[in-house]
Structure 1
């Protein structure tokens, strides 16, 4: 159960959080680093080292990491099996533009080996710049190049990155409001968010109206929509609140797009690389999209890399139509190869599904006694926990979530918040977590839930409480 791959099996808080050394480094960071720094605001620590699912700060406090560097560290921090690949590669070659190497070509073949045998030969891989945003930019360029059209349809709740093109496809208006000019001709339509159905349907009455709306837009000459080059979506929305669409939604979108000669792009930057059990969430479908975007976990243990996997039939571009100095860094590729080998050798796909079920069941137990926990949802180890002021009205409760995050952090559990209204706790632990780590994390999380209920009942929700032993 991967015990030796972690820096312990639980949290250990030995000082006030943040401790003195962390406070000093946080203060220095404020002085000399730009103000775009964000994560230390909600999780104010300075980190010294990490292994597996355990992070240690400079004051000696240990935390259970249920964030994994925003879903990057799928096989854990500093996985020694992956590091062995990295160390060997660093001795031979680090940077070599897009020249062929055995390292790179083996990686591409390994990626394609996870596709169904009857479709494996239909796809190619292209490496992009180091980030998921770079992969999204490349996917959009290819779609526009192939179709000769410029419009893109994206979805409400989407997050595709922070470069100009990727941000144009991201629905969070707060991230976009100060930029008067981004990439034009992007339209947003409702996603399959069943807990907050925009059509006020329930499970019995749902006819995938959200997908039907797309069909209406494309078929109605007075819809105001130009025929797009592509439709882009996350098969499980991440930052939007870990939204898992209703069964059949993704296939319906692909079918509608095919009928209208529109390309489909799946952004699997966060939900890909075994986070839902499969190498890609798309591989659970009978029909694959035209372009898939990968990053985050693809770099094994945090090495930056991104790639697009696309059907050969849409390859319209030629040499130099899309370039980048840091495409496919050889060390990042080696780390990715090591991570793929680790997954296969340790049957991590099955382990991820097992741990995901175990964790979701633990969270659903809290749902039975916490009147503000509206829904637990997820697939594998990408999990969302949505809090509301009332389970009938579903009014969002971001204030409670903020306090939950603070209390959990002070007791040794790290996670982040997302959702349309910042009322969803997002769990993205490394896939190598085991039952003992989950139990320890859930003790902290249950403590935080009970502490917040106590504060709520006493009318002191926003006041600090004593940290648990």
Structure 2
């Protein structure tokens, strides 16, 4: 299947490498960027990596105020399953606006909410959907993580969480505590309270120094024995939370057998299992939900990003046996986003009807295979991994010493140069993983064959240029 391209109105420019902008357009963009630096907080992130001012966007293409165009392989950190301003999402917005539907009614029932719930439940594994309850949260994934943790604490009467190295679950208190990134947690007092950190099976940099299936087996054995050790220091927790594919952790997929082991271990010990599908959901990994690859049924799933069709929306879906909290136990003003429910329902159905889940698997496999094939030519590529259109390319110093698994040292400065070289070539990519040394690709599911080749060509060229001897930031 080839998805037809969606292009911006013709203006003489293509989605290609950045060109010199007209002096007045460049000055306008620089002035806007200058005001942002002067007025916004020092915590801004993407604005530091991408000194551009987007003005228009359609499909996979972003155009800046200076007229330069870029292929967007960030997609709102995975939010834009259909790319920017897709006609399906735009039509849903216009239809809802023209209908006179209330855009904000807290958690009251609306036709749009009912329709979204129908559309979402239709995508869930049948065994899970048959027993599912849904809770609408504040419009960010981190709030949904908070809700899932609170739900399980309420249901079990226990405290504490099992979380994993490399995890990213959000920036609010409970979600941050479960997040593995030390740099964002070390300045926040108490952010690690009541969280037991377990080793995630990251084959290329295996925490046990062995890699492969054996590393995953050791991870499962460690978790099981720690929980059963009367002197292990772990009080039975309220929940385990994990990502089937770690996103910000560097596009690291969990082995299916390991996920099945986590389900067995938690089930046998009456520990609820929460799967965070905020970034990996809605077809991105080549299954509608990443957990489906392993066939397990979690007790709760956390969903956000792409479920809103590009607009803010977050929910948790969970087994009805855990529905024991009181009215108002988790609330928020903006949990009734009518427009997001309308665009979300339209997006979920379009992804299913157009076979975009299968296309993500096909195109992702093609991209991964081509990138893997570059390793002999570009030895700075240490590892290529991921699932579907959730891909990571870990960059290394090929002259550095090998570790016990055969991995060279990370190369974060090289990764920075590659990101900049990509931007100069009209390609937006972001970094993640340990030490920010992994180039992450999260293109929209509607990426065309032509766009796929352009992304790969530009990324290849950027890596080759940035890794030339003598190149430094």
What TM-score results when the alignment is normalised by the length of structure 1? 0.94
Say whether residues 1:32 and 2:39 are aligned partners.
yes
Indicate how the Cα distance of structure 1 residues 393 and 352 shifts in structure 2: closer, same or farther if over 3 A, else same. Answer: closer
Q: Where does residue 466 of structure 1 map in the other structure?
A: none
Deviations 1:209-235 (A, max 9, x none): 111111011100001111110011111
Kindly state the Cα deviation for residue 81 of structure 1 after the two structures are TM-superposed: 1.3
Residue equivalent to 1:465: none
- Partner residue, 1:467: none
Distance (whole Å) between structure 2 residues aligned to residue 147 and residue 404 of structure 1 = 47
Q: In structure 2, which of residues 456, 459, 465 is the aligned counterpart of residue 445 of structure 1? A: 459
1:89 deviation in Å? 1.3
Confirm or deny that 1:291 pairs with 2:268: no
Q: Is the 8 A contact 2:204 2:407 kept in 1?
A: no
Distance 1:384 1:460 in 2: 23
Equivalent residue, structure 2, for 1:282: 291
Q: Is 1:99 aligned to residue 108 of structure 2? A: yes
Residues 204, 261 of structure 1: alpha-carbon distance in 2 compared, 3 angstrom cutoff: closer
Distance 1:202 1:14, change over 3 A: closer
Provide, for residues 228-280 of structure 1, a one-character-per-residue CA deviation record: whole Å limited to 9, x for no partner: 10011111001111111223111101110111111111011001111112221
CA–CA distance in 2 between the matches of 1:289 and 1:246?
Answer: 16
Matched, 1:53 2:60: yes
Give, in whole Å, the separation in 2 of the partners of 1:207 and 1:137: 28
Give runs of aligned pairs for residues 299-378 of structure 1, distance below 5 A. Answer: 299-300=308-309, 302-378=310-386
Match in the other structure for 1:435? 449
Going from structure 1 to structure 2, the CA distance change for 1:380 and 1:212 (only over 3 Å counts) comes to same
Please name the residue that 1:3 is paired with: 4
2:208 match: 199
Q: 1:191 to 1:204 in 2, by over 3 A?
A: closer
Paired residues in the alignment total 458
Match of 2:83 in 1: 76
Q: Which residue of 2 aligns with 1:409?
A: 423
Is residue 399 from structure 1 mapped to residue 413 from structure 2 by the alignment? Answer: yes
Which position in structure 2 is the counterpart of 1:142? 151
1:13 pairs with 5, 13, 18, which one?
A: 18
Contact 1:269 1:294 in 2 (8 A): yes
8 Å CA contact retained: 1:10, 1:437: no
Secondary structure class of the residue paired with 2:174: helix
State the Cα distance separating 1:207 from its structure 2 match: 5.9
SS, match of residue 240 in structure 2? strand
2:263 maps to what in 1? 254
Distance 1:429 1:249 in 2: 27
What's the counterpart of residue 126 of structure 2? 117
- Indicate conservation of the 8 Å contact 1:135/1:294, yes or no: yes
Check whether the contact 1:234–1:266 (CA below 8 A) recurs between aligned residues: yes
Q: Which residue of 2 aligns with 1:174?
A: 183
Of the three residues 253, 263, 266, the one matched with 2:272 is: 263
Q: Helix, strand or coil for the counterpart of 2:191?
A: coil
Question: Post-superposition shift, 1:312?
Answer: 0.7
Alignment RMSD, CA only?
1.8
Q: Which runs of 5+ in 2 are unaligned?
A: none
- State the secondary structure of the residue aligned to 1:154: strand
Question: 2 CA distance for matches of 1:58 and 1:81?
Answer: 25
Write the distance in 2 (CA, Å) between the matches of 1:381 and 1:393.
Answer: 24
CA distance in 2: counterparts of 1:101 and 1:47, whole angstroms: 34
| Cα 1:207/1:231, change in 2 over 3 Å | closer
Q: CA deviation at 1:206?
A: 4.4
CA deviations over 1:312-348 (Å, ceiling 9, x no partner): 1111113222211111311110010110121133111
